Chain A
Amino acid sequence: MASDGDAVIDRHGFDALIAELRRRGFRTRGPVVRDQAILHDEVSSTGDLPGGWRDQQAPGRYRLEQVGGPELFGWAVGPASWKSEFFPPEEVVWRASVDDGQVTVTEPDGTTEPVALIGIRPCELSALDVLDRVLQGGRVVDDRYAARRAGTFVLAVDCGAPASTCFCSSMGTGPAAGSGYDLALTELTDGRHRFHVRVGSPAGAEVLASVPREPVGDGDVAERRGVLEGARAGMGRVLDTDGLPGLLDGNIDHPRWDEVAERCLSCGNCTLVCPTCFCSDVDDVTDLSGSVERRRRWASCFDIEHSFLHSGPVRASTSSRYRQWLTHKLSTWWDQFDGSGCVGCGRCITWCPVGIDLTEEVAAIRAGDRETVGDAS
């Protein structure tokens, strides 16, 4: 159903949108093909986007292939999530100079020009909402994250090409963007290449009003519906979320944790590609002049140091670390932040070097749940 302000734009209109955002002072960042993957970089026109590329994803496998054609968003998600825009993999949080008993502590300026996210997927948009809750929704706000996040313009693109590892339908985060966007596009390729545009905010309406556009026709609405239905049907994986937090909480001693630990390399790839993993370490770095820098960098709960206390790691086994990661995403995240920590993007499955699939692990735990099958295990 078309809403007020919705419109249809062609590729020139899309170019005009990007140009208008740049004119307004946004850093326009979007997907590009680099190093044989879809990554994020500055985009100044639609010519920078991954036109004609598709991705093939499976557990432990990711390949890009050039299929040609006009399609700009014929792929699902790459390894890079948008969290690094606002929560960089490494940053200096303060510097101190120590001189003759005096210590002066200063913070590097964390403010930047606001960013416009071009082509963010619905699952990614939900992931940003999850990160917002963690890093700026609590009693204490991560001021560095908040400064980067402020004033973000979101130009989302609904997903028409889910991968075999995707399960956003199960998590309720896609394939269509639900909220939190300024503009949401759906790419339509039947006949003429064009984009259905939904308006999600006054800022979005204002930007859209400045570019050449057409009213939405019945054909556009029908084709959009078809794209989304196709995406739902093509979703490669399913995660049954019914009673999931309680199910996992009640199966802390399930034998499956030891089984998966025999395959898990504890490498932390899943946490690096995850768009919601937020753990960080701090390290102090010094030089001979007496200056000190504290650096914060992404951390992983698969690292044995992650839980280190004076007497050693609390989670010494791979089994306990895998369990921590999975139960945090799907169960205790609800206790801590009142929501799921998983958005169903499937990256942890694709980028696991041994192809561990969390949907399969959860299904195995559900199948062997003591509550439902007794003590058969």
Chain B
Amino acid sequence: MHGPLTPEPYRVVGRREEVGDVVTLSLEPCTDGASGTYAHGQFNMLTAFGVGEVALSIAGSAGTSGLIEHSVRDVGAVTHALCTVPAGAVVGLRGPFGNGWGIERLPDGPDVVVVAGGIGLAPLRSAVGDLVVREREGRGRVFVVAGARSPDQVLYGDDLDAWRLSGSDVVVTVDVGTPGWEGPVGVVTTVLPDLAFEPGGAWALTCGPEIMMRFVARALVECGVEPARILVSLERNMQCGIGICGHCQLGPLLVCRDGPVVPYGGVADRLLVERGR
């Protein structure tokens, strides 16, 4: 039995190049007994052996195969190593850590608004999958807003199409349009007022750049959504995932332990406006 700082070896059984500099890895434990269960919105610590470790949100499991999926954007030494790891290679995994969106506890009825910016859709992907099923079963509607820099940067296009086909309201907006783009152009907040959701009782889940989440939350509050029902997924430097390395502090929060999902009202509303926190 290994300690909480020691990764388990996982084999890369699938590797899919997404848009831009994002790669999605499908991982399978090398040893029996490693648990594949997680809650939507939790994260793992992934090790590229010899390079280092990063915190990555769980982007879902591929079908019913029990594989863990992570979408990695190539932004630093470790993520670069993970993005270029070949299928069949072994990476290290610890987790899952943190809380999740808690959609399992959602009552039937209220609408759910999901707003994602760029790769912020990754920790929401599996949650939306369940919310789409919830809508199909008549237990509450889901509205998905995904923002991207440009049409060729829209992540999880197949998933967005599938959710739309299933009957859910899916809006994709881009910062800069290209010839042939017929969807909306503008930041995610510009399309929120046009969503036909019922704000009273509604829940909102959002993940993206902090400044985006701040404006999304403010816009949703203006639409009439209760601040405590707006959930944001925070990101900070993390080196342990278990609340002992101190890096992910945000005021009173240890983001890895108390988050990454926290309510905007009463917690994040104050933290997200402070400089340098």
By a beta-carbon cutoff of 8 Å, the part of chain A in contact with chain B is 93-94, 96, 98, 101-105, 107, 134-135, 138-144, 249, 252, 278-284, 286, 292, 294, 296, 299, 301, 306-310, 314-317, 319-320, 323-324, 327-328, 332, 335-336
Contact = CB atoms under 8 A, between A and B. Distances in A.
Task: Report whether over half of chain A's contact residues are helix, strand or loop; otherwise say mixed.
Answer: mixed
Contacts of B276: 314-317, 319-320, 323
B246 A299 contact: yes
Interface in B133-183: none
Contact of A335 (B47, B49, B252): B252
Given A94-B2, A315-B277, 10 more contacts: A94-B5, A98-B49, A101-B89, A107-B2, A143-B4, A144-B5, A280-B244, A282-B239, A332-B249, A336-B252
Contacts of A252: 274, 277
A141 B49 CA distance: 24
B257 A299 contact: no
A332 B245 contact: no
Contact of A93 (B6, B49, B76, B274): B6
B235 A309 contact: yes
A307 B244 CA distance: 15
A105 B2 contact: yes
Contacts of B277: 252, 314-315, 320, 324
A294 B2 CA distance: 14
User: Which of A105, A144, A324 has the most chain B CB within a 10 Å cutoff?
Assistant: A105
Given A307-B247, A314-B236, A98 B50 contact: yes
Task: Report whether over half of chain B's contact residues are helix, strand or loop; otherwise say mixed.
Answer: loop
25 contacts: A93-B3, A93-B6, A94-B7, A96-B92, A101-B88, A103-B90, A105-B92, A107-B6, A139-B257, A140-B244, A142-B242, A144-B5, A252-B274, A279-B247, A282-B53, A284-B53, A294-B47, A296-B5, A301-B246, A309-B235, A314-B276, A324-B277, A335-B253, A336-B249, A336-B253
Contacts of A103: 9, 30, 49, 90, 92
A332 B9 CA distance: 36
User: Which of B2, B6, B7, B257 has the most chain A CB within a 10 Å cutoff?
Assistant: B6
A-B complex: 5 closest residue pairs judged by Cβ atoms: A320-B276, A335-B252, A279-B246, A140-B242, A143-B3
Nearest to B5: A93
B136 to A, nearest CB: 36
A341 to B, nearest CB: 11
B243 interface: yes
Contacts of B275: 320
B251 interface: yes
Nearest to A145: B244
Interface string B256-277: 0100000000000000001111
B244 A324 contact: no
Contact of B257 (A138, A143, A144, A332): A138
A308 B253 CA distance: 17
Interface in B227-245: 235-237, 239-240, 242-245
Interface string B169-213: 000000000000000000000000000000000000000000000
User: Which of B88, B90, B244, B253 has the most chain A CB within a 10 Å cutoff?
Assistant: B244
Nearest to A336: B254
Contacts of A283: 52
Contact of A306 (B6, B50, B237, B254): B237
A252 B240 CA distance: 27
Contacts of A317: 276
A105 B93 CA distance: 12
A142 B252 contact: no
A107 B5 CA distance: 10
B50 A135 contact: no
A279 B247 CA distance: 7
A299 B252 contact: no
A99 B244 CA distance: 31
B9 A105 contact: yes
Contacts of B247: 279, 281, 299, 306-307
Contact of A94 (B6, B235, B246): B6
Nearest to A97: B49
Contacts of B249: 301, 324, 328, 332, 336
A310 B75 contact: yes
User: Which of B7, B90, B247, B277 has the most chain A CB within a 10 Å cutoff?
Assistant: B247
Contacts of A281: 239, 245, 247
